[in-house]
Structure 1
Amino acid sequence: MRLHLATTAAGVLLLAGVGAAAAQDVIIQPEQETVIREYVQKKPLASIKIPGVELNVGTALPDTVELYEVPNVKYRYVVVDNQTVLVDPGTRKIVKIIQ
């Protein structure tokens, strides 16, 4: 009986973790992405390199990396390895890599 309860509890915790991870996914509407792309084209930045940092959604950028504002968008951007990267300024985590 205890084994069954422990297995059930573990399953519930696993599902709760999956739900929390899904809730953290950032969805950028196509219209907002268009606004961001147009702004970035008008205000191009020099590409920087960040040794030891892989560009993946969820990766936190070091505090030494300057983030740039896009008007009326909560995220900031920077160009790393010739890729425009959107970053949550509160966590400094990459939320989207714009191709």
Structure 2
Amino acid sequence: MRMHFGAAAAAFLLIAGIGAAAAEDVVIQPEQDTVIREYVKKQPLASVKLPGVELNVGTALPDTVELHEVPNVKYRYVVIDNRTVLVDPGTRKIVKVYD
């Protein structure tokens, strides 16, 4: 009986982990991506330095980083180490890094 409970608990945790990972994935539609890229080109920002912060999807940015609005887009942007980063303003997590 314990073996079945342990296996069921392990399966649940695995499925929950997969769900959490999938929730992290953000899909930006090509039309929206084009709008973002064009806006960022027209509204250049000075690059900021964030020593010790890796620019990866899912990395949360500190509250000290000012996020800038893209009209009609849910996400905000900032330029870090000369790379434009798209950020979810609610969680401050990076959702896309532009090269």
Unpaired segments ≥5 residues, structure 2: none
SS in 2 for 1:90: coil
Report 1:49-64 matches (<5 A): 49-64=49-64
Q: Deviations over 1:14-58 (max 9, x none)?
A: 112212220231110111010000000000011111111111111
| TM-score of the two chains, using structure 1 as the length reference | 0.93
| TM-score of the two chains, using structure 2 as the length reference | 0.93
SS in 1 for 2:65: coil
2:47 corresponds to which letter in structure 1?
A: S
SS in 1 for 2:58: coil
RMSD: 1.0
Unpaired segments ≥5 residues, structure 1: none
1:41 pairs with 2:26: no
- Which residue is equivalent to 2:28? 28
Runs of 4 or more consecutive aligned structure 1 residues displaced over 3 Å after TM superposition? none
